[in-house]
Amino acid sequence: MGEDRRVRRALIPSLRHLVRKRAAGIILLWTWALAACQTDVRPLPNAAMTSTDPIAWQLATDPPPPLPMARRGELALWIVAHNGGSRRADTRRDQLEYLVNGQRSLMLAMAFGNGLREERWSMLAPGDTIREARGTGSDPSFGESLFPAPGDYVLELRQGGRPVATVKMQITAD
């Protein structure tokens, strides 16, 4: 809890500055700051990176599986990119394909493709990690739409036709 307060206090001057600049920037920074307080994201085993691409992708869920049907509205789905290279790199996020059980998902493409995006997505510094979530409990329809019935689901990110991250989700009956 103390860490959350320190992060928020450190961000208040930045937020005040952005109020003068752009209201949209405030929303983006505050969303990022709150998310940073909630979860420590590091590249995990389901992150994929090739020798020619320094960007490793990850999909993460909160809460983790299994998830009861009644709690689908609490789901947050994170896309995470980590630059494991020695130079700044474009994540090419706009080239991601989102799949659910092997089928393209227009819902995920729209959810992660629309809205404001931090500039760091296009020039991620070496060793940096960036992430963004959808759902997060503020939009209960997200998890309910993504997982309409109990069962096993595989969410996948592809870029350039190759899989770059997957996460398995089990939805259980209440």
pLDDT in tens, 74-110: 999 999 999 999 999 999 999 999 999 999 999 999 9
pLDDT at 6: 52
Shared domain check, 10 and 90: no
- Average of pLDDT values for 51-61? 89
Percentage of residues of the chain with pLDDT beyond 90:
62
Shared domain check, 114 and 80: yes
Shared domain check, 49 and 30: no
Find out whether 106 and 48 touch, Cβ atoms under 8 Å.
Answer: no
Shared domain check, 77 and 142: yes
Shared domain check, 46 and 29: no
Domain range enclosing 26: 1-38
